[in-house]
Structure formats: C-alpha cells, structure tokens
Structure 1
Amino acid sequence: MKFRINSIVAIFLVVIVVGGCTKTESTSNDRQTDFYKPWEELGVLYHDIMMAGIFPDSKTFADCTPVKDPADLLSDYMQQKDDPGFDLETFTKAGFKLPYQPEAVEVDVSVPMIEHLNEHWDNLTRESDDGSDYSTLIPLPNKYVVPGGRFREVYYWDSYFTMIGLGVSGRIDLMESMLDNFAYEINTIGFIPNGNRTYYLGRSQPPFFAAMVNLYAQYTSPEQAAEKYLNAIQKEYDFWMEGSGSLTDTNPAHRRVVKIGDHVFNRYYDDIHLPRPESYKEDYELAEELSEGEKDELYLNLRAAAESGWDFSARWFADLDDFSTIRTTEIAPVDLNSLIYNMELVLAKLYDANGNQAQSKTYQQLAQERRAAFNEVFWNSKEKVFMDVLWADGAHTGHITAASFYPMYFHVAMEDKGQAQVDVLIDKLLADGGLLTTTFHSGQQWDYPNGWAPLQWIAYKGLVHYDASIPANLIRDRWMSLNKKVYENTGKMMEKYNVADITLSGGGGEYPNQDGFGWTNGVALGMDALTDKY
C-alpha cells in the first residue's frame, strides 16, 4: 500500500508582507500578536545595536528588556543618533536592562558525578513566569528545567533527554510540569516553539513531545498519559502534517510536508524569511553579498536548520565548505521522519488506552505505511545506511551522519537494514570519546570533532534494539569516561565534547561551550542507571 496522508486537519494560510519579504504563516500565528518582538518594534535601533556588536553575542540583546516603551526609545534614538558625541553603547546600556544571568554554582568535584547530577536539578529549574510587557520570554505556567550556561529558557528537544535523567532521579513532578508547559504552548500558540522566546515563534524543533509523553506513561500509565496529553500530541501531529493532503506532482511541498514519488514525508521549515533575531548580526553578515531573493532563501534555510536542532552542520550544505550553500528545506531528514513515525505509534497507543479503537487503528495503519515507505526511500543500498533525501528528485545526499541511528532508536528500520548499517556507522563515527556527529571538518558545532549527548543516547539504545550490544556499550563506556574526566577536571558537564581528541572540550559553533548541562546530565544518568525507560 502506498503511504499517503489524507485525513489531516488543514490550517488555513494567510500571507503577510513584512519589510519587502513575503512570508507564509499559519493562522496559529494570529495568537502571537500580543508578544513583544523587539526587532519589529525597535526597527532600525535593533539593527544598529546588533550590527555594532555591543554584546558578546546577538542573543544577549535579544533577551534585554527596554526600560521604557520601545516606541519612545526608538524616537529618542532617531533624535539623538546624529548628535556630536553620541555613543550607541552608552545609549543602549542606559535604555535596556540586561537579561538575568544565574550565578555560577560551585561544584565540589570530590562528590561523584552521578551523585552531583541527581542533586543538581533544582539549580537548573526555573519557576513559572509572570511575564513582562517588554520581554521576549514567553511566560509558562509551570516550572521547567533550562539547559544551563547562557540559556535562560526551556528548549524543546533538549527536554526529552533531560526527562530521561529526571525519571532516573525520581523527579516525575518536574517531568510532568514540563509536559504541562509544552501542552500549554501547543494549545495557546499552535505548536511547541524552539524555546519559550518570541524570536522562536516561526519554528519548532525535532518533535519529541510524543516521545516525552510515552516516557511519562512508563512512569505513570498509558491511561493517565492519554488523559492529560493525547489531544496535545494530536494537535502537534496536525501542525507537522499540515497541507499533506493537498500535495501534488506540480505542488510537491508545503511548509513541513513534501511529496517524494507517491509518498509524503517531512522536512524542517520556518515561516519567516528574515535574519534570526537572536543571531541577527551573524545571519545578516552571511547574507550581505546576496541578492534579495537569495537572502530570503538563505534566511529560511538558516531558520530551518535551527528547527532541526543541528545548527549548524555541513549536513545541510550543498558545498561542504560553503555555509552560504545551506539548503535545509530541500532535504527530507532521516531523523525527523523517524520522529514522525514514532508520533503515529504513540498516537495509536494512547488512542487505544483512551478507548478509541477506530483512531488507534488509523494511526497504526499510518505508521505501517510510513515504515514501509521510509525503508524504501531513505535506505541507500550502495552504502548500506539510512540517509537524508533531497526530496525534489529522491536522491540521497550521500552523507553518513549520526542521524542514521534514529531509525534504529524508533524501530522504523526493518530488522535486516538496521543490522546491516551497524558496521558502516561504527566504522565511520566511533571515536575515542564516543560517537562523532559527522566526519565533516567544517568548523560547525554539529560536525567533527564534536559529540553530543542526545546522539550518544540515540545510537546507544538504537544499537541495543538491533542486537548490537558490543558497539552500543563501546559508545556508552567511552562517552561516560569522557564525561567523568571533564567533570573531575572542571566540575562541569558540557553541552558538547570533542570526542576525537579527548584532552579537549568541544568547540566550534555560534557561542562558547556551555556548562550545565540539561541533556548531558540526563543522558549520563540514563546510561549510568542502564534505564529501560525512554
């Protein structure tokens, strides 16, 4: 049977023109009109402050709050900026309040790493938000765990791996609190943004909400999980599949869905064709030499890569050495489509728990069809590995990356294919400190030589699922050894690690390496406990 989606609830579209750029947004964004968006309200002042490089990174100013009405600040700036002796940095620091920066936590490295992690959750927990008229922070009704370091908000896909650790630590209260927040975002915004900041409202992140709810069900019950979160998962599924029933050969792509042959798959996307406000200077400078049309495409693809969580990797580049050739929206990613398959399975499970057998069977059928199509389209028989696909012609990108473990983690890979790719992936990606993300020497943070906790976990458990316990344990042991070594030397759990040279911390990317660190902590706790709940 061909894999098709014809029963998705459509969301009507509106076209908005901003700053000369045409942007397509869903009507879910109508619920975003009350949010403070400084790049719009401050106009040229936002641009000039960002381009002046007053702060260590663009995100710092994006998180600042004005001390008075932004319109008044903009008016003051326009009146004063040409005055002799005007200093933009002085004006900025008088007119804006810096974001809250948590104090560094003293860590006693004589305390074993796992004991420290079990006790550390409260340091990474933020209380519910009251909100502010002029803050980019989106208020959430319940407590949540932030990654740490530079971050002052909750991030979507990070939270699944954080929750694995919360479960091991017995913090089901925090897990439930975070799930309630994500359900709140789905019900009020229409989807889960990248993070709870207004500058993330054009995009989501890898859709792990169903996996989080499935984890919660293992600690509570499928019935309780269905009662609390089934409707939210359904709404998120509709968001990711919006427009799938109307794809044709002449109109093969719409937002996050694409047509490959007779099959419908998913891609990463964003509704906005402008520089990311939290990385404004970096995006603007990258696009400076391009035509207006090329700028629109670049900004869209940068934003889509940010939605992927892999921001950035040469995985998304047409030319591995040229950042400006980023083409994220042209790719149907192997990891995203594994996640959508899992979402269908979880919907089937929870509809069954809720007593709706008809809907359960519908999603079981959709998952079966997706699995068959996935193994046909994403499998590269020459390389014997699952690969990303260029959806326009169905060709594989040719890149072997750690994303290829996702089909094993979520059981979408047929047994023979899952087992066949083990040797290929281990040969390419296993390093002294764990699993490489890619073998590309691009300088991007989601490339060589870095390893990231979520991919270690996905690979470790994915290999176990396909009876490859020896390489699975190699990844686990090397990664945990590196975590412990860095912790004992620095007192820190890092965002990423250099797994090729285990004498160094990770590097590359848009901002300095961070400590904290939510998903690293969660994965370490899960690996140490050999947890079977995930």
Structure 2
Amino acid sequence: MKFKLNINQTLQRLLAQEDTDGDKRITIDDKGPKSFLLEDENGNSQLIEGTYYLSNLLQELALSKKSNSEFAEIDSSEIIENPVSRISRKIKDLYWNGLTRTIDAKGVAEIVEDEKIENAISYLYVPATDTVAFEYFKELEKTIPKLKVVQLAEDISSEYVLTLNKKPGILGLALQQDNNEIKGIPFVVPGGRFNEMYGWDSYFIAIGLLLDDKPELAIATAENFKYQIDHYGKILNANRSYYLTRTQPPLYTSLIAAIVKNAKPEKNWIVKHLNTAIKEYQTVWMEDGKRLTSNGLNRYKAEGIGLPFEVEVGHFDDVLEKYALLYNLPLREFEKKYLDREITDVSLDAYFVHDRSMRESGHDTTNRFVNVCADLNTIDLNSLLYKYETDIAFLIETEFENHFTDDKNKTYSSEYWTKKAAFRKEKIDELLWDKDAGIYYDYNFIRNEPHPFEAAATFYPLWAKLCNAEQAETLVKTILPKFKLKGGIAGCTKEAIDDIGVNSPQRQWDYPFGWAPHQMFLWEGLLNYNYIDEAQEMVYRWLWLITRNAVDYNGAIPEKFNLETSSLKIVAEYGNVGTVFDYITEEGFGWMNASYQLGLSILKTDLKGELEKLTDPDSLF
C-alpha cells in the first residue's frame, strides 16, 4: 500500500510520540507506545507497531524530506521489509554512494571542510612527481578561498613530514581525463568522521563493492593504490600528510586477484598493476633493515618522529606523565615541547616507534603490540606477504603463461614466487607456529623468543592457505572456541588480556571487541579448508549481531561491536564510528557493510530465514 503523506507533519507527530529520548531516532531505548497509526489524505491507514518498523518509517520519511517537497509517497512494503533484505538493499543502493568521495573540483570542497581540519586554511598536498595534478589543483585553489595547494618535496623524509604537522592536510589521489575534463578517480571512505582513503579498509570495502555489482569502484580503489605507490612510495595508512611515513597491511595483490576474477579487466590493466605490486613488495617490504628482518620474515616498522600526530590531546597521558615528572614540567607543557621537538628523549622516541608501527599494522590499538611492535615478526603480516607471493605466482601462471617481464625488464616465472612463498612458510612454521599450544604466535626477533599473545591474527594463515591440514584442524577445533562469542570472534582471547594484568588500559582491537576484517578472514579461511559447518556458524553469528543491532538501533551499522554484550554501545578509545546520526544512516560503515554482503553470499537459505525473523526484541539467538 502506498501512502501520500505530509512529510513534516508526519515526521513531527512520529517523533513527538516515539522518540522519547530526543535523539532523532527510534530505538529500543525509547519509551513510547511503539504503535503509530499511519494515515493519509486518501483515507488509507495502517497501524505500524514495534521499534524496527517505526524506525523504518522514520528513515523513509527522512529520505523523502531530501526532495524538498511537502508531500511524499511512502510505500508500506519498505516499512515492513524484513531486516536482512533491507540492510543489504540499503548498503547496495544508498550506503556505498554515501561513502564515495573524489578529490577534484566536485569533491574537494566537501573534503576540506571536514571536522579533522582545525586550521583556517585547508592544505591539499600534491606529489612532486605529479605536475599535471599540481597545475590542476592550483587553478582550483583560485575558486576555493580556504584551500591552499602545496607541492610536496621530492625527498619525503621523516624530518620533512614532521615540518608538515604545523599545517596538516589531505594528500592528492589519482586523477583521470573524462571527456576533456579532469576528474578525481573515486574512493570509498570508511564512514563517519573519515573523509580520507584508508589502506586496509579499502580492500575489504572493495570486496563488498564487487559483490554489489560496482566493479568500477573496486577498480578505482586499485588505481588509487597504484597512485600512492607510484607517488608516495607506499600504500598509505590514509591520504593525510601525517601518514606519509606509514603504510598499512599489504592487501594490494588480493585486490588485484579479486578484480581479475570478478571484473575481467583487460590484460594491460593487469600488467600495470602487477608491475606496481611487485615494486611495492620489493621496495616497501623486502629492503633489508626496514620491514625485512635478518631471519627472512617481516615486521611492521613505520618511520616518523615523535608523537603520532593524529591522536587527540590526552591520548598518551598514561605514557607521558612519568616523562613530564622527569623533566619537571606540567603534563600539557611537556607534551607540547615533545611534539615540537624542543625536548627529545631516546626511550620515549623508542616507545613511539612501536606505537606508529602498531598503527601501521591496522590494529590501532592492541595490548599485543604496545612498546614491542617493531620487534615482532607478526603472523598477520607474514601471512599477508605469503599471500602476495602466491598471488603473484598465480597471476603469472594463469594470465601470462608463466612468463612475466616487469617494467625494469626483469622476467619472472611463477616458480620464482612459489619458492619465496615456500621459504616464508618454512620460517613461519619454524618461528611462529607453536605446535604444543596449537596456535600461531608473533616472534620477537630481538629476544629470539615467541610473543605469546592469543590474537585473532592466528587465523590469517587459514585465509592465506599456508596451513597444512593438521595445523588447520588444530586451529579450528581447539583454538577457535577460545575466541568465539555469541556474535563472532574477538580481537584476542580473554585469557590474553587477563595475562597482561588489570593495570593495562582496554584497547579497541582486543577482547571483547569484534571487527569485520577478522570475521571475513576467518570465514574465507574456514572455507579454504572445507570447514563448511563452522563457516556457516561463524557467518550467522556475525550477521545476527549486525542485524540485531540494526533492528534495535534505527538501522545503525557501526565500526565495531562489544561481543561481550552483543552491542554497538561501546566505551573504548575512539568511540564507535557509525552510531551517531539523525533519522537515518546514509553510510553505514565501510568494512561492516562489506562483511554483511560477503556473509550473505556465503550463508545458506535456512539461516538467512532465521535472520529475517529478528524484528522482535525478545527473539532468541
């Protein structure tokens, strides 16, 4: 049934009755009657009952209001739509669009006005190696009074990046020529306060885009990865000036392989991206003394000087307090002097080498890596690089008849890369696999001993296909139950946190928090080793969690969950992006959106049917 409604009148009446806490949403926390009679001028009426259906009505009214019309036609089928179909449809048709950005004449005005820019001037930095982009943006500068375009130095050293912290800004990404007009190649941001392209978020987002028939956006993600490697020397943590010394978990070849499989790009596209992936592998990950260690395995090792610039004032108070006392200064004064490098301290600098490296890992933050990250051959990084080596071997064998010549005129066979992968697997088995515990631990190559912290990264080898059958069985049968909670797997086990002690702060990548990347890697890893029932169970648990919270909280799709409470309500560092909005979320959260679509592509019909029933607050798991 379709209702012709006066938008503002209906909206005001609905909120006055049902939004009892005044947050412009209808959730299980509101104390209204949860029953609203929908009537229109044509005499149509329908009783809408329950939090979920009332919040759907609110969302549809909010969307209609954007038309600036007084009246709107609301289809009741969208109000009573089952939650699984609704969430998936909104992700595909609404949320991806809401998260898409460009850095060009059309998009830069929105980006320079974002909440992370506190200066009167918004700086846009362009690589020294991209003169076309510099000329384009200098012309654009004339039309946006707040915008200041700066060409970066050719040598982007840590010292140079430190000087940019007085005037932080966004970094330019790839441009393209479209019908004689220069446009930015689009990218998809995580959501909420993020207006920049994040390295590892983008891979998971791209998997969702491919599932939702948006291959052009997935391909655009790869183009922007390539641009960053070519012009900034690495795939950046994110495209802001203070991230220039920091990369992210290596997932470029996995993206290339996914695009080749699903979008069937032309051969020359594969050539240029395979060239760039090999370049990244060699220059970012395999140069001696940087992220490659003497035992042949890798570590995260971000460069940079002093405090990570992106954190809020007070984030490091527990660390800085003892140094402030040592230098006989008030805490804030010491922090400022240290940030400005008026004070330097060798031990504090060493702490922040580990901290920036932890942020490079994507796991920002976890007790697993505090004050030790750069000393660890981590299981996640080495699994990802094993995947690089096997991906490159696979692409050379299947796309280039086992003979690929790179742009430096060096020829590779697939065997060259499979030997590298075999060596890495041998070293992982030797140093990172604990046969007695049946788990992968990181390895401290400074102390020559395991770093026994039970982290969800132990399941990465399943995804990368580097386990043997016995290792896989042990991980699935013995280790997985230790991580499993009602809604999925946590970032680490509770025992890992208990072992650290009560004085350690709670960190967002540890127990009890659950994140989409860990779930997605686990599901695909279980399927790789034919653990079908276990994969179905774990997909269901996570999709139940997303669906349950969306039903209860006005369609919210958050950044992460508290798995102990099965809730998006979180007290942790950085809060929970994606939970604050008025009337309707038009973005969700990037990798959470992707995890929902991936999970639905795996989940069996009968389990989807169980999820579709989650419209009653008292329904059972």
CA RMSD of aligned residues (A): 2.3
What stretches of structure 1 of length at least 5 have no aligned partner?
1-104, 245-253, 318-325
TM-aligned CA deviation for residue 346 of structure 1: 1.7
- Residue 289 of structure 1 and its aligned partner are, at CA, apart by 2.3
The reply on whether 1:363 has 2:435 as its aligned counterpart is no
Question: 1:334 aligned to 2:379?
Answer: yes
Measure the CA separation in 2 of the matches of 1:503 and 1:118. Answer: 24
Aligned to 1:314: 367
Q: State the 1:385 CA deviation.
A: 0.9
- 1-side partners of 2:480 and 2:207: how far apart? 24
Q: 1:528 to 1:367 in 2, by over 3 A?
A: same
Q: Retained in 1: the 8 A contact 2:472–2:529?
A: yes
How far does residue 391 in structure 1 lie from its aligned partner after superposition? 1.4
After TM superposition, give the deviation of residue 270 of structure 1 in Å.
1.2
Q: Distance in 2 between matches of 1:295 and 1:443?
A: 21
- Aligned partners of 1:304 and 1:167: how far apart in 2? 30
Per the TM alignment, residue 160 of structure 1 is displaced from its structure 2 partner at its CA by 1.2
Match of 2:480 in 1: 426
Is residue 265 from structure 1 mapped to residue 297 from structure 2 by the alignment?
yes
Q: Deviations over 1:262-288 (max 9, x none)?
A: xx0111111113111111634653334
Structure 2 residue aligned with 1:403: 457
Amino acid at match of 2:590: G
Output the CA distance in 1 between the equivalents of 2:483 and 2:269: 36
Matched-pair contact (CA < 8 Å) for 1:507–1:513: no
1:199 to 233, 237, 242: 242
Aligned residues: 408
Any conservation in 1 of the 2:540–2:603 contact (CA below 8 Å)? no
- What residue number does 2:169 align with? 136
How far the C-alpha of 1:297 sits from its partner, in A, is 0.7
Equivalence for 1:390: 444
Aligned counterparts of 2:395 and 2:287: Cα–Cα separation in 1: 24
Counterpart-to-counterpart distance in 1, 2:578 and 2:347? 33
Q: Which runs of 5+ in 2 are unaligned?
A: 1-60, 64-77, 109-123, 125-146, 150-167, 175-184, 327-344, 405-410, 499-504, 580-587, 605-621
State whether structure 2 residue 361 is matched by structure 1 residue 297.
no
Alignment counterpart, residue 127 of structure 1, candidates 93, 96, 102? 102
Counterpart of 1:256 in structure 2 is 291
When residues 210 and 456 of structure 1 are mapped into structure 2, their CA distance, relative to the original with a 3 A threshold, is same
Which structure has the larger Rg over C-alpha atoms?
Answer: 2
The amino acid of 1:258's aligned partner reads: T
- Partners of 2:514 and 2:561 within 8 A in 1: yes
Q: Deviations over 1:296-352 (max 9, x none)?
A: 0111111001001111111114xxxxxxxx211111110100001111112222333
Q: 2: distance between equivalents of 1:268 and 1:514?
A: 28
1:513 to partner: Cα distance: 3.7
Hey, what's the Cα distance between the residues in 2 that align with 1:505 and 1:243? 43
Q: Which deviates more from structure 2 when the two are superposed, residues 474-483 or residues 354-363?
A: 354-363
After superposing the two structures, state which structure 1 stretch, 125-134 or 445-454, moved more: 125-134
2:275 is matched by which residue type in structure 1?
N
CA distance in 2, matches of 1:160, 1:228: 18
- What amino acid does structure 1 have at the position aligned with 2:417? Y
| CA drift at 1:122 | 0.6
1:396 is paired with a residue whose SS is: strand
**Aligned equivalent of 2:214:** 171
How far 1:443 sits from its partner (Å)?
A: 1.2
1:459 aligned to which of 508, 514, 522: 522
State the match for 2:23 in structure 1: none
Partner of 2:196: 153
Query: Is contact 1:344–1:367 with CA below 8 Å preserved after alignment?
Result: yes
Equivalent-residue separation in structure 2 for 1:448 and 1:106 (angstroms): 36
Q: Is the 1:190–1:235 contact (alpha carbons within 8 Å) kept by the matching residues of 2?
A: no
Which residue identity lines up with residue 453 of structure 2 in the other structure?
H
* Displacement of 1:465: 1.6
| CA deviation after TM superposition for structure 1 residue 295, in Å | 1.0
The whole-number CA distance in structure 2 between the counterparts of 1:307 and 1:171 is 28
> Given residue 301 of structure 2, which amino acid in structure 1 is its aligned partner?
Y
Looking at structure 1, the residues matched to 102 and 80 of structure 2 have their Cα atoms a distance apart, in angstroms, of 29
**How far off is 1:228 after superposition?**
3.5
Equivalent position to 1:495, from 559, 574, 595: 559
Q: 1:255 to 1:109 in 2, by over 3 A?
A: farther
Shift, 1:486, TM fit: 1.1
Change (3 A) 1:454 1:506: farther
Could you say if the C-alpha distance between residues 424 and 273 of structure 1 is closer, same or farther in structure 2, counting changes exceeding 3 Å? farther
Shift of residue 531 of structure 1? 9.0
Query: Aligned to 2:601, which of 506, 525, 529?
Result: 529
Provide the TM-score with structure 1 as the length reference: 0.72
CA offset digits 1:20-71 (Å, max 9, x no partner)? xxxxxxxxxxxxxxxxxxxxxxxxxxxxxxxxxxxxxxxxxxxxxxxxxxxx
**What secondary structure, in the 3-state scheme, does the structure 2 residue paired with 1:316 have?**
coil
Letter of the 1:309 counterpart:
G
Superposition deviation, residue 368 in structure 1:
1.6
Matching of residue 518 in structure 1 with residue 554 in structure 2:
no
For 1:152 and 1:509, the matched residues in 2 are separated by 20
Q: Which residue of 2 aligns with 1:469?
A: 532
- Hey, what's the Cα distance between the residues in 1 that align with 2:253 and 2:571? 31
One-letter amino acid matched to 1:405: F
Contact 1:192–1:204 (Cα < 8 Å) also in 2: yes
Q: Aligned to 1:258, what secondary structure does the other structure show?
A: coil
**Who is 1:116 aligned against?**
90
1:349 to 385, 394, 398: 394
Cα distance change, pair 454–284 in 1 and its aligned pair in 2 (3 A): closer
Closer/same/farther in 2, CA of residues 473 and 106 from structure 1, 3 Å limit = farther
Aligned equivalents of 2:430 and 2:188: distance in 1?
39
Q: In 2, are the aligned partners of 1:378 and 1:386 still within 8 Å (CA)? A: yes
- Which amino acid counterpart does residue 334 of structure 1 have in structure 2? I
